[in-house]
Each structure stands twice: as C-alpha cells, then as structure tokens.
C-alpha cells in the first residue's frame, strides 16, 4: 500500500522540482518526468487546500450559528 503524501512533503518536493527545472542543463527526458511528477504533486496540494477551505467554511458557519454575544 502506498504511503499517503502530506501537504508539506508534496510542497517541499514541488520546490525541489522547480529548482531542477530552472537548470537549463537538465536533460529533456528527465525534465519531462519531473514536470509530470510536479503536476501530480500540485494536484495533491490543491486537494489539501480545497479540503482545508471546506473545513474552515463549515467551522465558520457553525461558529456563527452558535455565537452568543456577551452582554455588557
């Protein structure tokens, strides 16, 4: 079974890939493989971000419904 990639690990690897792709000496075949890996990692990061945004929205709405202002 494949190990789940964390957001932080995916982002770190994306940064590494970006640095390698900025090197003009990178061989084309390897650059294409790195790009492909980067696209997959970017999708993983976007999924994590979307899930976090959904949780924040739910928590915000829940907090608004349960909010009782303090009387002065």
Reported as a single tens digit per residue, the pLDDT across 11-48 is 999 999 999 999 999 899 999 999 999 999 999 999 99
Matching residue, tokens 């303090």: 70
What are 4's two structure tokens? Answer: 């789940």
The domain tally of the chain equals 1
Q: Does 39 map to a domain? A: yes
Q: Report d(CA 22, CA 47) in Å as an integer.
A: 26
Q: Does 32 map to a domain? A: yes
Q: Report d(CA 72, CA 69) in Å as an integer.
A: 9
Domain of 36, in residue numbers: 7-64
Q: Does 55 map to a domain? A: yes
Q: Does 2 map to a domain? A: no
Q: Which residues contact 56 (CB under 8 A, 6 or more apart)?
A: none
Q: Does 69 map to a domain? A: no
Residue 64's pLDDT band, with cuts at 50, 70 and 90, is low
Confidence (pTM): 0.77
N-to-C CA span, the chain = 57
């Amino acid at each position: 079974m494949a190990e789940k990639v964390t957001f932080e690990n995916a982002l770190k690897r994306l940064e590494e890939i970006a640095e390698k792709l900025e090197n003009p000496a990178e061989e084309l075949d390897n650059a294409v493989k790195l790009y492909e890996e980067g696209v997959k990692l970017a999708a993983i990061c976007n999924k994590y971000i979307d899930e976090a945004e959904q949780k924040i929205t739910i928590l915000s709405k829940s907090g608004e419904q349960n909010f009782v202002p303090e009387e002065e």
